[in-house]
Structure 1
Amino acid sequence: MTETNKNIKEPRITLVGAGPGDADLITVKAIKALKTADVVLYDALVNEELLEYAPETSTKVYVGKRSGDHTFSQEAINNLMVDYAKNYGHVVRLKGGDPFVFGRGYEELIIAAAHKIPASVIPGISSSIAVPELQQISVTHRGLSESFWVVTGTTANGKISNDLIDASRSNATVVVLMGIHKLAEIAEIFKLQGRNKLPVAVIQSGSTDDEKIAVATVDTIVNAVEESKISSPAIIVLGEVVSLHPKFQLIQEVYDVVARG
């Protein structure tokens, strides 16, 4: 150890879930971790207000990764995480939503273990549940849905997950993350199962001031999203539970009027 590193703290890494976007939806334990951080490595979907919990003397590094815009590769993030831990002490790896729900959190735990750096995880509120809930869409509801799927919209090879095809055959609610750019393809999968009239909601930037929602059916959702100018980040919710949303009830009333002639 060099002369300048003699006072360095013991290296450790904490993977912290930042929640869906609203800074108030972070957990108390996550705040405690941030308050002891020497370094914070934070993702694109993290509300930067949360950085205020970290000490002024801490180093904050943006390592944002979003679909089509990988400012840092996962390998580069892994290297930064290890280097900062060894040279500064406590690294908080602040990740949107929950670290283990399409957050590659376990991969980062493996890296920490490979370098013999103690690591722990603080769960976050996943957007897969919280964002629909804030729109009063319950992913399960007695008589409508007994279970729910959470599926990635795009796999590592850029294709639709086979799990989504299986989900389209189920009566369960289906929540698709990172799928807005595949919306038309996703809708086609459900149409092939004869589910053209299945209610769908697409929610952009859930829990934030930029939140938008489009509610329609499988056969009209692509147009509804275009008309509402909804873009990434957004989640897709498919299932009968969406029929309980006030906007869908208005759509249903229009359908009923047209049907009556």
Structure 2
Amino acid sequence: MANLQKPENAPLRATALDPDQFCLRPRLGPPDRGTLRIGLVCDVIRFRRAHEATTSRDKRGENQMTKNCYLRALGMAFGIAGLALAGGQPAQAAEPFTISSSAFKDGGMLQVKNAGNIKKNPNCVGDNVSPPLAWKNAPEGTKSYAITMRDLAGRGGLGVDHWVIYGIPASVTGFAEGEASKPSDKFVGGQNLPKTGLYFGPCAPPNTTYHHYVITLIATDLDPKALKPGLTIPELLNALKGHDKGATEIVALFKHP
């Protein structure tokens, strides 16, 4: 007769899951997806065992009733586990803080009417109409906003500060077309190149490539009346240190027609 003794180095075979050993182990810490799934598996095993035990004892046609009870209990277990899993999911990340314009896309062209209108400057060929802007999803704790617009390639690379406003209340979510070209109680004017405290459009010289106008929106925790009028961009940024909550930007292009 063949020797059926297992060799000493024979690999061990996996054994079936024993719920009495596995499911009774304590689960430490708050429930997460893993522990909830383990609990669901253990509940299914226990319901299956109860069904088999009841079936073996009952041979008089009541098997269907037991099966129905088993299925209802199993459905309830899956439902409860599903609700627990849904409730245990981490909260979705907040939507990003963004700024946009209905007149141009990020990296799109400004219109001639958005260009500056300083009559003594032949490079200013527009009507100085500020573009429409809108923003959403302000960072938590925002009390006011600031907006700057700069052309870093302007003046032969020295840069031009076209727009500096701040003290915009948190309740404001944008400006209509032309709204920032005139004084308003929605903002405090800073000091741009022509020192108007308002929007100042592009005045790009001819025979140059497209200039990039970076419009930056900064969320702050400062009261809208906290800063005095007339701040330059460097002064504004210095005043916002420790009070900035987040920023977003959009870039517009313009070329002398």
**For this structure pair, what is the TM-score category when the shorter chain's length is used for normalisation?**
under 0.3
Q: Which has the higher helix share?
A: 1
User: Which structure: larger Rg?
Assistant: 2
TM-score by length of 1: 0.20
